[in-house]
Structure 1
Amino acid sequence: MSARPALLAVDAGGTHTRAVVCHDGRSRSWELATMNRHAVGATADDVLLRLLSAVRHEIGDRPCVGWLASASVDPDEPAAELRRITAGAVRAGLDARLVVSNDVVPLLWGLPGVAGEGIAVICGTGSGFLGVDRTGAAARAGGCEYLGSDEGAAVDIGRRGLRAAVRAGDGRGPATVLTGLLADATGTRAPQLARAIAAQPYPKQRLADLAPMVCAGWLSGDQVCGGIVSDAVTDLVAGVRAVRDRLRLTGGYAVVTVGGVFAGCPPFHDLIESRLLDFEGAGQVTFTNTSARVVMAALEHLLDDRDEVALPAAISDRHAWIVSSAPAVVTRAEEEMCA
């Protein structure tokens, strides 16, 4: 009787990549930089290959079943990312069947309180929303990168904060503690900081890094920071409401939240939670900060007795896809791409 495949779970957000592999009664975890090309460009491919090579070294020739949830997966145009991940697995020598999805998807199956019905909210570097109802219908909102969405997330809060500091400095806006907070944290005055970030090829993460200063200003009572936080909360609630209304979810629906903004500023999450519970009909709001473990739980929830992943119809080939790097099924095109 052949041994069970190793199980791999990867949460690849806009800032970090966290992974865990389980085999032979033990587990191994990794934390690396982001593998999101939208955030760091081609260096994301190096991170992907490093991780998958480390997994291959850990499990040897054993087959692997896994779920790679990445902020860089565009549900409308997933093909390029599916090819990139497959190519990385082939180059690493990993015999794997992987579910590939956006990072919001496994939240709906990785927590007991949701279990395939509810709304998942990510608020980290970027933001996104995905919901599923009991009939299997799915709806999403956001997830279009920081030029098209990401409202309420770190990149949005940071950008608003930087702009507010610039406006305060030249007289177009009210005074704010952000002027000093940003200068102390970065060693640069707001106008020069704005120009320096704009000149970078991938400014998203630098903007997101400014969000904690906005939250700190808000907690100190600064009105400008308070306005930014209030707008962020409104935008995030609007994302939940849009998904709720499209799915026609009734009162008492579950919401699961995850992301660095919530983790880094619990009072911010408290605002979101109270708005959803008091005014938007949510029955429960559950925060989780163990993203790779949640991906693993979702994977285990959807495994059948043959250790195959049975994707629900609501997400199969629409929000999640299965790719394989097993030698028997790698296509010629994939081999040429990896050469």
Structure 2
Amino acid sequence: MSRYVLAIDGGATASRAAVVSSDGDVVGHGVGGPCMPLLTPEARERVARHVTRAVEGAVARALERTGESPPLPVAAVWAGLTGLDPGADPVGWLHGVLASLATHVRQAGPVRVSSDLDSAVEGALGPRTPGVLVYAGTGSVAVGRDETGHLHRAGGHGYLIDDRGGGFDIGRMALRAVVRAWDGRGPQTALESSVRSALRVSGWDDLRRAVYGAANPKAVIASLAPLVTDAAQRGDTVAQAILRDAAVELAELAVAVLRRLPVGRSDAAVDVRFAGGVFSSDPLRLAFAEAVTDRLSRAHVAPGLLPPLGGAALLALDAAGLLPAPPMAGAVVQGLRRGLTGT
């Protein structure tokens, strides 16, 4: 039986793949284009090309490093994909992708497809570990896992409806603060100059064209979130208030999920992990930890253990029967951390 598995993380920004050995050693890594929702045949074909490129890169590096002869046999494949269509057949779709790679990789065990949230939770919390993950990138969502492995979710309803505390929400609050300052409805803020510079605008007419005329207004607005952190760190009170509000919204996601978990209604400590680009902001991250512990003093707030690709690798190893039971699984997690994050 092969001692390698293939892990795939199909995210909205990029598709990533890794070949991982049974001890958690990442022997090959590859990157492809974004994995947009698999809602149409055209989208599935496009995503197939992106995932294929990622897998080709990972397998090519694995063959070079291990000295194995192609095709590389893998004991299991696990793909965590964003935007799954419940009416589609993602497993069949993934089998098609693997078939196109038959000269590079030979699937010799189970093939599984899940939501990218499943692999994100597995990576953030660790194998079979209960707790809560709050993920904030462009949007925001919290997912909790109980002792039985069941998942409980809050948020993740999309930027038009919710996604409070995510990058889009923070960017939109920055724009709102700027136009309020221009109108005289709100206080002056350092965000005015930083937004002008970032979007190359001089006033409302330019700003309207830059946002409403953009091919992807959502991405334009979300790209402004780091400006809020920069302004907050320079002492701008408007930016600081935006980050505090975002942190409270993200903490409320965690608390909402915890209420559904037995550990959230007991005296036991509980892990609250965080991940996503928004948490690269030091002021927001500190405010989030404070807001969570204010609401639940027993919470242990910390970064996720592994990125979603690491979670997909853990799930693939488990599906192949190669993941040891705790505490030995900790060594596998450490190996994945070294290979995927360099820490």
Normalising by the residue count of structure 2, what TM-score does the alignment of the two structures yield?
Answer: 0.74
Deviation at 1:154, TM superposition (A): 0.9
Residue 266 (str. 1) matches residue 282 (str. 2): yes
Q: Residues 111, 228 of structure 1: CA spacing in aligned structure 2 closer, same or farther, 3 A cutoff?
A: closer
AA aligned to 2:5 is L
Deviation at 1:229, TM superposition (A): 1.1
Residue 280 (str. 1) matches residue 296 (str. 2): yes
Deviation at 1:258, TM superposition (A): 1.0
After superposition, give the CA deviation of every residue in 1:198-236 in whole Å (9 maximum; x if it has no partner): 334433322221100011112222222122212211211
Counterpart-to-counterpart distance in 2, 1:114 and 1:275: 27
Counterpart-to-counterpart distance in 2, 1:87 and 1:200: 35
Q: Partner residue of 2:339?
A: none
Residue 66 (str. 1) matches residue 82 (str. 2): no
Q: Partner residue of 1:332?
A: none
Counterpart-to-counterpart distance in 2, 1:158 and 1:80: 36
The counterpart of 2:270, out of the listed 242, 253, 260, is 253
Q: Partner residue of 1:79?
A: 88
Q: Partner residue of 2:57?
A: 54
Q: How many residues align?
A: 301
Say which is worse superposed, 269-278 or 23-32, in terms of deviation: 23-32
Q: Partner residue of 1:119?
A: 132
Q: Partner residue of 1:337?
A: none
SS in structure 2 at match of 1:14 = coil
Q: Residues 187, 92 of structure 1: CA spacing in aligned structure 2 closer, same or farther, 3 A cutoff?
A: farther
AA aligned to 1:79 is A
CA RMSD, aligned part only? 3.3
SS in structure 1 at match of 2:148 = coil
SS in structure 2 at match of 1:184 = helix
1:12-23 to 2 correspondence within 5 Å?
12-22=10-20
Deviation at 1:144, TM superposition (A): 2.6
Q: Residues 102, 216 of structure 1: CA spacing in aligned structure 2 closer, same or farther, 3 A cutoff?
A: farther
Counterpart-to-counterpart distance in 2, 1:220 and 1:134: 44
Structure 1 portions without partners, runs of 5+: 309-339
Deviation at 1:289, TM superposition (A): 7.3
Counterpart-to-counterpart distance in 2, 1:157 and 1:260: 12
Q: Partner residue of 1:3?
A: 2
The counterpart of 1:149, out of the listed 134, 155, 162, is 162
Q: Residues 71, 142 of structure 1: CA spacing in aligned structure 2 closer, same or farther, 3 A cutoff?
A: farther
Counterpart-to-counterpart distance in 2, 1:82 and 1:200: 35
Q: Partner residue of 1:186?
A: 199
AA aligned to 1:261 is V
State whether residues 127 and 142 of structure 1, in contact with CA within 8 Å, keep that contact through their aligned partners in structure 2. Answer: yes
The counterpart of 2:311, out of the listed 295, 319, 324, is 295
Q: Residues 131, 230 of structure 1: CA spacing in aligned structure 2 closer, same or farther, 3 A cutoff?
A: same
SS in structure 1 at match of 2:6 = strand
Residue 203 (str. 1) matches residue 209 (str. 2): no
Counterpart-to-counterpart distance in 1, 2:253 and 2:198: 31
Q: Residues 105, 26 of structure 1: CA spacing in aligned structure 2 closer, same or farther, 3 A cutoff?
A: closer
Residue 160 (str. 1) matches residue 159 (str. 2): no
Q: Residues 197, 107 of structure 1: CA spacing in aligned structure 2 closer, same or farther, 3 A cutoff?
A: same
State whether residues 139 and 167 of structure 2, in contact with CA within 8 Å, keep that contact through their aligned partners in structure 1. Answer: yes
Residue 241 (str. 1) matches residue 255 (str. 2): yes
The counterpart of 1:216, out of the listed 216, 222, 230, is 230
State whether residues 168 and 175 of structure 1, in contact with CA within 8 Å, keep that contact through their aligned partners in structure 2. Answer: yes
Residue 35 (str. 1) matches residue 46 (str. 2): no
Deviation at 1:122, TM superposition (A): 0.8
Q: Partner residue of 1:100?
A: 113
Structure 2 portions without partners, runs of 5+: 64-69, 324-343
The percent identity for this pair of structures is: 29
Say which is worse superposed, 283-292 or 116-125, in terms of deviation: 283-292
Normalising by the residue count of structure 1, what TM-score does the alignment of the two structures yield?
Answer: 0.75
